[in-house]
Amino acid sequence: MTRFLVALFLCFWAFSPLLNCMSAEITCAGTVRMRNRPDVISISDFGGVGDGRTLNTYAFREAIYRIEHLSRKGGTLLYIPPGIWLTGSFNLTSHMTLYLAKDAVIRATQDTSSWPLIAPLPSYGRGRERPGGRYMSFIHGDGIHDVIITGENGTIDGQGDVWWNMWRQGSLQFTRPNLIELMHSRDIIISNVVFRNSPFWNIHPVYCSNVVIRYVTILAPYDSPNTDGIDPDSSLNVCIEDCYIATGDDLVAVKSGWDEYGIAYNRPSYGITIRRLRGSTSFAGIAIGSETSGGIENVLVENVSLSNVGIGIHLKTNIGRGGIIRNITVTDIYMDNARKGIRIAGDVGDHPDNKFNPNALPIVDGVVLKNIWGSNVQQAGSMQGLKNSPFTRICLSNINFGGVSSGIPWKCGDITGAALRVSPSPCPELTSTHGTGFCSVSS
């Protein structure tokens, strides 16, 4: 009952139609509670000017400092009024709500020369694209809890084109900044915000728990490099729902660290729910990996609708990764116009350095892909495990890529499992006419 009331309250809070909410009985609502803050301040109280030209870095830092040191019980809401609020990167703090009014834009400065650098993530050992440290995310949080980023669908704009051009020209000195990164943090809600033109990955919760991301729109040009939508990384209990994402890389990619650094840090992603997502990209709709060294377990993906995608569902890892990928369920997926429906591969992604252990082979076990429909899918899929670590209990059930016109069949190797009601006909490795414990038509 309490749970129902909380859900109902959240429905009103998010201004969505009541009926809609009641029919969608499963939501993230139980994971983290939305809060009203008794204390409200505005960025204008700190000298902020929303004219799109004035640099507001100092105002943001002052406002956050005030929340950190003078907040009342129950926390503080930082109100961002309509306007364009240009700023350098800043840190969030605990017990705060960053609230963007309708037509409020928090816009990142393009002055890359003064962008702060921070240490590499321990589970990566270095920046993801350049050795050494990395640029701090535009909006950053480390070791914080009870944080909400929400409002009336205002925009967080990374103005990433300067960074994309540095990447294209090979002139990047360090790894590009994420738009938002939260490290070692818990009880986070990100809802009703639009993210635009991230320099690199958009939303990166890493070493976090209890994270809810819903009613979020993420946009970047289809050719903007590495603009992943949401990358839950070595995190526990992450729920992503009701989002629209159209970017230049994977829409959602669940990760857990890179080769020997990820193996040593040993922090899995566990309990990840992704549902009611729509989007397009020339990369993957939903990805697991390719950084999977801490392990990825108990992932549920459901009700995803993709149009114009490179690969619908992509599970990717590599030798040197180690880690266990287990209990992944992907169900009720629709894709229109895809280069490839499903890909499972053990040879994807680069290595941080040549110190990776070639004997650290990933284990992939228990992957259920069911109720998947595609139209205009050029190739149904490929599933290639590793010779010395075959991927096991791979289940394809009730899959129809009716529009496979070029007739490129499934390609498989070093995998075992079952396939039930799959069209076009699955590869012999998976052919099975009856259900098994881990693979049936109904479950």
Ligand X SMILES: *[C@@H]1O[C@H](CO)[C@@H](O)[C@H](O)[C@H]1NC(C)=O
CB of 96 to ligand X, least distance (A): 14
How many chain residues bind ligand X (CB under 6 A)?
13
Choose which of 129, 152, 332, 414 interacts with ligand X (CB under 6 A): 152
Where do runs of H (alpha helix) occur along 18-138?
18-23, 57-70
Q: Can residue 150 be called a binding residue for ligand X (CB under 6 A)?
A: no
Distance (Å) of CA 234 to CA 122, 207, 418: 11, 5, 30
Query: Closest CB to ligand X among 217 and 379?
Result: 217
CB of 87 to ligand X, least distance (A): 12
Choose the binding region for ligand X from 40-48, 134-142, 263-271, 375-383 (rule: CB under 6 A). 134-142
CB of 12 to ligand X, least distance (A): 12
Do residues 427 and 411 lie in contact, with contact meaning Cβ atoms separated by under 8 Å?
Answer: yes
Query: Closest CB to ligand X among 219 and 301?
Result: 219
> Is residue 242 among the annotated active site residues?
no
Q: Can residue 140 be called a binding residue for ligand X (CB under 6 A)?
A: yes
Do residues 107 and 199 lie in contact, with contact meaning Cβ atoms separated by under 8 Å?
Answer: no
CB of 406 to ligand X, least distance (A): 36
Query: Closest CB to ligand X among 197 and 398?
Result: 197
- Of 320, 373, 371, 312, whose CA–CA distance to 344 is shortest? 312
Do residues 194 and 154 lie in contact, with contact meaning Cβ atoms separated by under 8 Å?
Answer: yes
Q: Cβ contacts of residue 244 below 8 Å, gap of 6+?
A: 216, 217, 218, 277, 278, 279
Q: Cβ contacts of residue 4 below 8 Å, gap of 6+?
A: none
Q: Can residue 57 be called a binding residue for ligand X (CB under 6 A)?
A: no
β-pairing, 139-142 vs 145-151, is: unpaired
Q: Cβ contacts of residue 188 below 8 Å, gap of 6+?
A: 32, 145, 147, 148, 182, 205, 208, 210, 211, 212
Partners of residue 171 on adjacent β-strands = none
Q: Can residue 307 be called a binding residue for ligand X (CB under 6 A)?
A: no
Q: Can residue 15 be called a binding residue for ligand X (CB under 6 A)?
A: yes
Q: Which residues in the 183-242 window bind ligand X by CB under 6 A?
A: 192, 215, 217
CB of 100 to ligand X, least distance (A): 11
Q: Can residue 13 be called a binding residue for ligand X (CB under 6 A)?
A: no
Q: How far from chain centre, in Å, is Cα 259?
A: 20
Query: Closest CB to ligand X among 16 and 109?
Result: 16
- Of 237, 182, 247, 186, whose CA–CA distance to 216 is shortest? 247
Query: Closest CB to ligand X among 119 and 441?
Result: 119
The rounded distance, in Å, linking the Cα atoms of 166 and 176 is 9
Q: Can residue 91 be called a binding residue for ligand X (CB under 6 A)?
A: yes
Query: Closest CB to ligand X among 118 and 246?
Result: 118
Q: Can residue 118 be called a binding residue for ligand X (CB under 6 A)?
A: yes
Catalytic residue among 146, 249, 259, 365: 249
CB of 417 to ligand X, least distance (A): 37
Q: How many helices and strands (H and E) does the chain possess?
A: 5, 25
CB of 273 to ligand X, least distance (A): 18
Query: Closest CB to ligand X among 91 and 440?
Result: 91
CB of 192 to ligand X, least distance (A): 5
Query: Closest CB to ligand X among 152 and 414?
Result: 152
Choose the binding region for ligand X from 47-55, 136-144, 167-175, 352-360 (rule: CB under 6 A). 136-144
The rounded distance, in Å, linking the Cα atoms of 422 and 418 is 10
What is the SS3 assignment for 64? helix
Q: Can residue 142 be called a binding residue for ligand X (CB under 6 A)?
A: yes
The rounded distance, in Å, linking the Cα atoms of 373 and 403 is 10
- Of 97, 121, 101, whose CA–CA distance to 181 is shortest? 121
- Residue 2 buriedness (CB in 10 A; 0-12 / 13-18 / 19+): exposed
Match 């590009």 to its residue by tokens.
176
Choose the binding region for ligand X from 93-101, 135-143, 401-409, 410-418 (rule: CB under 6 A). 135-143
Q: Can residue 276 be called a binding residue for ligand X (CB under 6 A)?
A: no
Q: Which residues are catalytic?
A: 249
Residues that bind ligand X (CB under 6 A): 15-16, 61, 91, 118, 136, 140, 142, 152-153, 192, 215, 217
